[in-house]
Amino acid sequence: MLVGLALLWPGGAPAHERTGVGFDRQTQHATVTQVVSVSCSSVNASGGTPTGDTSTAEGSSAVQQANGTCKKATIRVDTGNDKGRTFTEIVQPDQSRQLHEGEQVIVAYEPSAPRDLQYSVTDVNRRVPLAVLALIFAVAVVLVGRLRGVMALVALAISFLILNFFILPAILEGSNPLVVAVVGSSAIMLIALYLCHGLSARTSVAVLGTLISLLLIGVLGSVFIDWAGLTGNTDDNTGLIHGLYPSIDMSGLLLAGIIIGSLGVLDDVTVTQTSAVWELHEANPAMGWRGLYRAGIRIGRDHIASVVNTLVLAYAGAALPLLLLFSIAQSSVGTVANSELVAEEIVRTLVGSIGLVASVPVTTALAALVVAADRPDPGTAGAAQAKQSQTPTQPQTPPRSTGSGRGRRRKR
């Protein structure tokens, strides 16, 4: 892992000229200082009453924009070279995002546009609510987890550092996404597990089980991504990445995402299974590795059922807008599943789930073999148990009198 980090460590993400498309825009923070209501007919460019079929969404929207009441917002730029500069923006009545006075927003800057059109509102500034939510999460983790909760937060911060300073720049520099994902995921896994659970045989078994499962996910993902002909270039964001950095293997990037996405759940499964086997050994030190494995796998079956369902629902929730579009189009299940957008999620879900399912017997078997090696000798254990069972009863047994007559009182 250390050798891989040293060989693949990037010098930083390569620079490029901004395209002004999507996320690749210059942005600044701004504040809405004033919002006034104006007639849409006085501010729209057409200035006339639209014609056409008002039963359609486009015709209805056009009529509303012509006859309705719009908002004229004044926005002040708060950061960058143009700090303090103001501009106006018209908000149509049917827009999903309405601006309010005092609201913090993000504005995009396009230097090649006319001066009056260089700035435009692109999003709401959500830093404060997100920071408050992150703080509540951190407090909850520390209150419940105490020292381990603190260690978990430290491991989380290190994971983000590895992601931002190693995995992403290395991929942008042209390194193989699969190799970068495996090395980066291994580093995250080792740091997180040993930091949260300590340097012990129990943690080492969980690490080994996770590595074996990640290897299986990588092999299966590579085979089925190639077999299904998945390009990894399925939306505007991936298209923009491919346009800016043509050397990036987009299908490899898809596989890297599957590996990194599966890592978090894998850690949970392997640590839980290892802890279960260790606790079974503590409860019955004389149990052999076969008994430990059978008991541990029964626990693992419940874990498998819940984790697989969680993964499927998580991916379905993320792709819910896409599934709604297919439902509106009344497409058949076969047509939906065959589209690359959905097929990509199917491969991602099933490959990750297979790795998770495999991690349960693999980790349980490893833990049973390791912990059974510390099993006490049967003779020693039996003698110790017999001695322990006799010890508390000895004081309760009254001494029997002997025939010598010593200690016996005479009858008077």
Residue 247 has pLDDT above 90, yes or no: no
Number of H helices, E strands in the chain: 14, 5
Q: Give me the mean pLDDT over the 6-25 stretch.
A: 62
Is the Cα dihedral 73, 76, 79, 85 positive or negative? positive
Q: Per-residue pLDDT averaged across 376-381, rounded?
A: 51
Over residues 241-257, the mean pLDDT reads 81
276: enclosing H helix or E strand: helix 250-283
pLDDT bucket at 258, cuts 50 / 70 / 90: confident
Ranking 258-267, 292-301, 316-325, 351-360 by mean pLDDT, the lowest is 316-325
What pLDDT, on a 0 to 100 scale, did the predictor assign at position 335?
A: 74
Average pLDDT, the chain: 78
pLDDT in tens, 149-183: 899 899 999 989 988 888 888 888 878 888 888 88
What region, left, alpha or beta, does residue 22 occupy, with left being phi > 0 and alpha being psi -120 to 50 degrees? left
pTM of the model: 0.70
**From CA 165, how far away is CA 167, in angstroms rounded?**
6
pLDDT of residue 306: 74
Q: DSSP assignment of 36-68, as one string?
A: EEEEHHHHSSS-S---S-TTSHHHHHHHHHHHS
- Rg over alpha carbons for the chain, rounded to the nearest Å, is 32
How far from the centroid of its chain's Cα atoms is residue 329's Cα? Answer: 31
Residue 280: count of CB within 10 angstroms of its CB: 21
31-43: per-residue pLDDT in tens?
999 889 888 877 7
Residues in the chain: 412
Segment 329-349 shows an average pLDDT of: 76
- Contact criterion met (CB below 8 Å) for 315 and 349: yes
Q: Is the pLDDT of residue 22 over 80?
A: no
Q: What is the dihedral of CA 60, 65, 67, 69, to 10 degrees?
A: 130
Q: What is the pLDDT of residues 62-80, one digit of tens each?
A: 555 556 788 888 999 998 8
Q: What is the DSSP string of 340-390?
A: HHHHHHHHHHHHHHHHHHHHHHHHHHHHHHHHHTTPPPHHHHHHHHHHHHH
pLDDT digits (tens, 9 = 90+) for 118-153: 888 888 989 999 999 999 999 999 999 888 889 989
Q: What pLDDT does residue 133 have?
A: 96
